[in-house]
Amino acid sequence: MDNTSKDSLEQLNKDILVSIADDCMTAYICLKNPGTQICYGYEDVKKALADAGVKMGINDELIHRILSEKRYNSMETVAEGKHVEDGEDARYQLFFNTDVSNKPVIREDGSVDYYNLRLYELVSEGDKLAEYIPPTKGVFGYDVRGKLLVPKPGKPKTKLRGKGFTVSEDGNTYYSAIDGKVEYRNTDLNVIGVLQIEGDVDLNIGNVDFNGDVEISGNVISGVSVTAKGNVTVGGFVEGAVIKADKDIILKKGSNGKGVAKIEAKGNVTASFLENLRVYCDGNVYSNSILNCEISAKGKVIVSGSKGVIYGGDVTGMLGVESASIGNSSNVSTIVRIGAAKQVHKDYQDTLVKLKEITAEIDTLEIVTHKYERLREAAPERFDRENYNKIIQSKIIKNSQKAKLQEENKQLFDLIKEATVSGVKVYKTLYPGVRIYAENVIYDAQTERNHILLRRGGDAMRIIELGDDE
């Protein structure tokens, strides 16, 4: 090769411009128009890329096409790295329906269906409930300079806790151990047996105390009690009895408590009618009528149906009270209360303190985790995987506890917030003799009012006329 040819090739190499993106995931070339000089060759481009440090992801086919088509004076992508793919966190695949509601349905004619309620999801012994999908390690990547990009592995998930199920030998698949009702929340899985009682619960049967759901086809007679860790459903009437449930209470034919009955639920209370009894619940109260009752609900008291009425007694719905009518034409004394109770405000402040404490614990575990991860990269031989896994598990448990506290805190916050704007809706008539308390504000009904909403406004009660569609 003569000196002229050598000079031309050196110039060509100088005229192949290589550019690398800041993240080193893409490399480009720009070929200056060589004019009458010797055309660029494939090896010229590969050398220019090598000189610039481009080692991986080179698209040889594209380089040949650029050369053959003589794409001069334009920036062309000729190498691309592979982005790292972080691992996916572990999860549970569930094999049962979690969308269950026990809210009664209002028919087109205004009546309420208390019989066709979907109360829970039933499973049989041996049914597959859940399967653990392990975390993935992720996929390694690289940049155009040849640097290996390490993925972040997915996080494991704590084992499901609860009762009423068995686990496969590999610990990944969960089966129902009994016939019963399945419940799932966060990492808690429970299959609870259902106690079915055909006929009445009376003095011959005695008191019922069951660690699950109780279904009674008949009546609950005066003088007995029914206690359940789950729901209580009564197909007949409830007389002067005591019924307590950690979930919902459903009285399909209602109750005349004869002044001695007491209903306590941590969920909702649903009844065709309620008369002469005390009701306490953390959720809502649904009924067609409430007569001479002492009612206290953290949620709403909703008297459904076109003939719904509340009269007599003392009725509290922290989030509001709704009824066709309140009071009656005889001006019977009736008390209605709305707004958050003092205990709710205290519970909210308590959860804030607990959240602060557990967040500090998680932050400490996070610092320790990062130290272990740095040690794993710098000195793998000193890395203690067993202790690392214990810390990860502790962090998972603490995060689960934090999530529950956050949920509780949010529920209390929402309750307080919603309670501040709670009101009393009267779709037909509010009668004289009704007294309404909205925390520190009192309203005494002196005349009949129709189709109104009463809501606290500062130190007085606002009366808002409802529209025809409300």
Position with higher pLDDT, 103 vs 243 = 243
> Are residues 251 and 216 part of one domain?
yes
Q: Give the pLDDT score at 111.
A: 58
Length in residues, the chain: 470
Calculate the average pLDDT of the chain.
88
Q: Give the pLDDT score at 160.
A: 93
Q: Give the pLDDT score at 3.
A: 42
> Are residues 160 and 113 part of one domain?
yes
Q: Looking at the domain assignment, is residue 319 inside a domain?
A: no
Q: Give the pLDDT score at 186.
A: 79
Q: pLDDT band for position 100 (50/70/90)?
A: low
Q: Give the pLDDT score at 109.
A: 63
Provide φ and ψ at 397, rounded to 5°: -65, -45
Residues 6 or more apart in contact with residue 6 via CB below 8 angstroms:
none
Q: pLDDT band for position 116 (50/70/90)?
A: very low
Q: pLDDT band for position 104 (50/70/90)?
A: low
335 backbone φψ class: left, alpha, beta (φ>0; ψ -120 to 50): beta
Q: Looking at the domain assignment, is residue 414 inside a domain?
A: yes
> Are residues 173 and 95 part of one domain?
yes
Cα 282 from chain centre:
18
Q: Looking at the domain assignment, is residue 217 inside a domain?
A: yes
**Of the candidates 156, 190, 224, which is a domain's last residue?**
190
Q: Looking at the domain assignment, is residue 163 inside a domain?
A: yes
Q: Give the pLDDT score at 122.
A: 76
Q: Give the pLDDT score at 382.
A: 83
The stretch 236-263 carries a mean pLDDT of 95
> Are residues 267 and 200 part of one domain?
yes
Q: Is residue 35's pLDDT more than 60?
A: yes
Q: Give the pLDDT score at 101.
A: 57
**Of the candidates 190, 208, 223, which is a domain's last residue?**
190
Q: pLDDT band for position 107 (50/70/90)?
A: low
Please tell me what DSSP assigns to residue 55: -
Count how many domains the chain has: 4
> Are residues 185 and 102 part of one domain?
yes
> Are residues 128 and 62 part of one domain?
no
The stretch 356-362 carries a mean pLDDT of 93
Residues 6 or more apart in contact with residue 170 via CB below 8 angstroms:
none
> Are residues 197 and 186 part of one domain?
no
> Are residues 201 and 181 part of one domain?
no
pLDDT of 55-94, one tens digit each? 999 999 999 999 989 899 899 999 999 999 999 999 999 9
pLDDT of 163-214, one tens digit each? 999 999 999 999 999 877 788 887 889 888 888 888 999 888 888 888 788 9
pLDDT of 363-420, one tens digit each? 999 999 998 888 888 888 888 888 888 999 999 999 999 999 999 999 888 888 888 8
Q: Looking at the domain assignment, is residue 278 inside a domain?
A: yes
> Are residues 163 and 95 part of one domain?
yes
Q: Which long-range contacts (CB under 8 A, 24 or more apart) does 212-215 make?
A: 212/180, 212/181, 213/120, 213/180, 213/181, 213/247, 214/245
Q: Which amino acid is at 392?
A: I
Structure tokens at 260: 């001695």
Q: Which of 317, 299, 159, 164 is nearest to 230 (CA)?
A: 164
Question: What domain range includes position 166?
Answer: 91-140+148-190
Q: Looking at the domain assignment, is residue 296 inside a domain?
A: no
> Are residues 111 and 71 part of one domain?
no
164 backbone φψ class: left, alpha, beta (φ>0; ψ -120 to 50): left
Q: Which amino acid is at 467?
A: G
Q: Looking at the domain assignment, is residue 68 inside a domain?
A: yes
Q: pLDDT band for position 120 (50/70/90)?
A: low
pLDDT of 279-317, one tens digit each? 999 999 999 999 999 999 999 999 987 778 999 999 999
Q: Give the pLDDT score at 4.
A: 37
Q: Is residue 121's pLDDT more than 80?
A: no
The stretch 420-445 carries a mean pLDDT of 91
Consecutive H or E run containing 182: strand 180-185
Q: Give the pLDDT score at 214.
A: 92
Q: Is residue 243's pLDDT more than 70?
A: yes
Q: Looking at the domain assignment, is residue 362 inside a domain?
A: yes
Q: Give the pLDDT score at 213.
A: 87
Asked if residues 103 and 302 have their Cβ atoms less than 8 Å apart, the reply is: no
Share of the chain above pLDDT 70, in %: 91
Structure tokens at 121: 């999801």
> Are residues 99 and 72 part of one domain?
no
Q: Give the pLDDT score at 7.
A: 42
> Are residues 408 and 363 part of one domain?
yes
| d(C-alpha 179, C-alpha 280), whole Å | 30
